[in-house]
Amino acid sequence: MNEIISTKSLSKNYTGIKAVDTLDLGISEGEIFGFLGHNGAGKTTTISMLTTLLPPTSGSGMVAGFDIVKDPLNVRRRIGYLPENVQLYESMTGYENLKFFAHLSELKEPDLAIEQVVSFLDISSYIKKRVGQLSKGMRQRIGIAQAIIHEPKVLFLDEPSSGLDPMGMKQLRDILLKLNQEKGMTIFMNTHLLSEVTAVCHSIAVLNAGKLIYQNSLEETLKRFKDNSSLEQIYFSIETDHSEAAHAVSH
Ligand code: ATP
């Protein structure tokens, strides 16, 4: 299958820190991809570069057929992004927020696009309430509506489960599966939550101190680590293998 996201030696240095270090990633079209790693591993920095919000220090990346450095506008037209803290205007209703973003996206038929996304995400019961009055889960669904209103090919989400209760997490999972199955959307998700990964992802990668230490399909991962009973144990095995290998090299 075609790779809809790919990076070659993608790197980002902050003063004194290699936040992302020569990253080579490949994600097939139509996949739900889970990007795992400890706090500070470099996941948000990677998403920021792929969504063209942050220029790489070196290396390159392609998203939906366009170069993230040379052609950021064409990348932006084809992607949606839900940051960890959903950015919405609190004093406006969900509907007004969507209308505003529909105009920013220069949609030809903004009202129709809003109607369709509201129906797809089943958010009509609270779309006319002010965002400041909504629960975290409701705001997040408005955030997803905003991120997908222009029908992007790829949806990026940064820690989407953070702060959600079990019902909110289930609703999020159902939305991601529906977007993937019914709209064929490729989904790139930064996450800490291994239960979420097992429930929705087709493939995973693990980042450790800016370096990619593992990438494989979820199916192969579960086969390869078949003695480990949970993905959590697998994750720790990958991290342990990596640090033992690094230790062996340095001696
Ligand atoms: P988390 O799960 O905690 O969000 P992460 O895997 O998303 O972590 P990043 O936020 O990408 O990690 O951070 C990677 C590294 O870069 C960390 O050491 C962080 O402190 C550093 N960093 C991130 N943003 C900046 C910045 N603007 N200036 C300097 N250092 C930064």
- Render pLDDT for 91-139 as a digit per residue (tens, 0 to 9): 999 999 999 999 888 888 999 999 999 999 999 999 999 999 999 889 9
Measured distance CA(190)–CA(26) in Å, rounded: 15
The residue among 153, 134, 154 whose CA lies nearest residue 142 is 134
Give the per-residue pLDDT at 9.
98
Residue nearest to atom 26 of ligand 1 (CA): 14
Distance 121 CA to ligand 1 centre (A): 32
Torsion of CA 239, 242, 246, 251, to 10 degrees: 100
Residue 250 pLDDT exceeds 90? no
Residue 83's pLDDT band, with cuts at 50, 70 and 90, is very high
The residue among 74, 248, 39, 41 whose CA lies nearest residue 154 is 74
| Mean pLDDT along residues 193-203 | 86
- CA dist list (Å): 230 to 206, 218, 234: 16, 12, 7
**Residue range 206-217, pLDDT digits in tens:** 999 999 999 999
Residue of higher predicted confidence among 67 and 249? 67
Give the per-residue pLDDT at 247.
61
Q: What is the pTM of this model?
A: 0.92
Give the per-residue pLDDT at 188.
98
**Residue range 6-54, pLDDT digits in tens:** 999 999 999 989 999 999 999 999 999 999 988 889 999 999 999 999 9
| Mean pLDDT along residues 81-87 | 91
Residue 198 pLDDT exceeds 90? no
Residue nearest to atom 25 of ligand 1 (CA): 14
Give the per-residue pLDDT at 211.
94
Distance 42 CA to ligand 1 centre (A): 6
Residue 15 CA, closest ligand 1 atom number: 29
C-alpha gyration radius of the chain? 19
Residues near ligand 1 (Cβ within 6 A):
14, 17, 19, 37, 39-45
The average confidence (pLDDT) of the chain is 91
Residue 223's pLDDT band, with cuts at 50, 70 and 90, is confident
Residue nearest to atom 18 of ligand 1 (CA): 40
| Mean pLDDT along residues 213-241 | 79
Residue 229 pLDDT exceeds 80? no
CB contact at 8 A, 5 and 188? yes
Give the per-residue pLDDT at 193.
77
109 Cβ contact partners less than 8 Å away, ≥ 6 residues apart = none
Give the per-residue pLDDT at 163.
81
**Residue range 54-82, pLDDT digits in tens:** 999 999 999 999 999 999 999 999 999 99
